[in-house]
Amino acid sequence: MKSKLEKLKGTCIGIAGCGGLGSNCAMALARAGVGTLVIADFDTVTLENLNRQYYFLDQVGQKKVAALQENIRKVNPAIDVQIHDVRLGPDEVVNIFKNCRLIIEAFDRADMKLMIIETITERFPDKFIIAGSGLAGYGENNALRTRRLGNLFICGDETSEVSETLPPLAPRVGVVAALQANQALEIIMDDLEPSVGDDVWDE
C-alpha cells in the first residue's frame, strides 16, 4: 500500500470547476494524498453555495479557487495547490491542465462539460477525464454509477437535471464527487492504461 500512496504523492490532477463537484472532489483527493492539484474556476463563494460546496460562512465573497486552496491547506499544507482564477475555454484547458495526468470535469453547465471532453480527447488522447452527469435532487442511491468510454469516465445518474424543483443538494453532489475522486485513485494506484486510438473522429 505504501508504494501506491507514493504514486498518489507524485501525481498531478486537474480540477475544472470548483463548485459542488470540484470542491468536494478536491478535498477528497487532498485527504487521500494526491501531491499536486491544479484547480480552476472564475466564480466567487456565495451563501447559496453552502448547501453543497466545500466552503464556509466566513468565505462568502472570496474567490472559490483561493478559498478552496485555503481549505486544502488546513488539511494538508504539503499539497501543492495551483490555482487559476479564470473562465475556462479550450485554450485555457490545454494550457492549464497540460501537465496533469487526469482531469476532473466539475462544471455546472452541460455545454461546458462537452467542451472539456472534446478538448481533452482531441488534444490529449492519452489523458483520462472523469466527468459528472446527473446529480440533482435526493434519494435514488443506486442510480448513481460510473460508466467508462475509453479514457472518459462518467459518474452520476445521467438523467436528473438541476432545476427550480430539483436543486442540487449536498448528499448526491457529494456522492458523485466522491465517485469521481475514487475513480481517479483507481486510475493512479492501479496504473490503468489509457485506451489506444481513443481520439476524435476526423475523416
Partner 1 sequence: MNKGKSMKINLNNKEVSMAGESFSVRELLNLMHFTFPMIVVKINGRLVKKEDYERVFIGDGDNVEAIHLISGG
134-153 residues near partner 1, rule: CB under 8 A: 134-136, 147, 149-150, 152
The helix (run of H) or strand (run of E) holding residue 106 is none
- Kindly report the backbone phi and psi dihedral angles of residue 90, in degrees, each rounded to the nearest multiple of 5, phi listed first: -55, -45
Amino acid at 144: L
- Which CB atom, from 33 or from 167, has the smaller least distance to partner 1? 167
Residue 152 β-bridge partners:
129, 149
Nearest to partner 1 of 35, 128 (CB atom): 128
7 within 8 A of 159, measured Cβ to Cβ: no
Q: Is 159 in the site for partner 1 (CB under 8 A)?
A: yes
* Angle in degrees, 0-180, between the axes of helices 2-9 and 170-189, rounded to the nearest 10: 110
158 sits near partner 1 (criterion: CB under 8 A): yes
CB of 195 to partner 1, least distance (A): 6
- Quickly tell me which residue has 466545500 as its cell: 54
Q: Which three cell numbers stand for residue 63?
A: 474567490
* 35 lines the binding site for partner 1 (CB under 8 A): no
Q: According to the binding rule CB under 8 A, does residue 126 interact with partner 1?
A: no
| Sole binder of partner 1 in the list 7, 8, 122, 178 (CB under 8 A) | 122
What dihedral do alpha carbons 35, 153, 71, 190 form, nearest 10°?
Answer: -30
- 109 touches partner 1 by CB under 8 A: yes
Residues that bind partner 1 (CB under 8 A): 17, 19-22, 106-111, 113-114, 117-118, 121-122, 131-136, 147, 149-150, 152, 154, 156, 158-162, 168, 173, 195, 197-201, 203
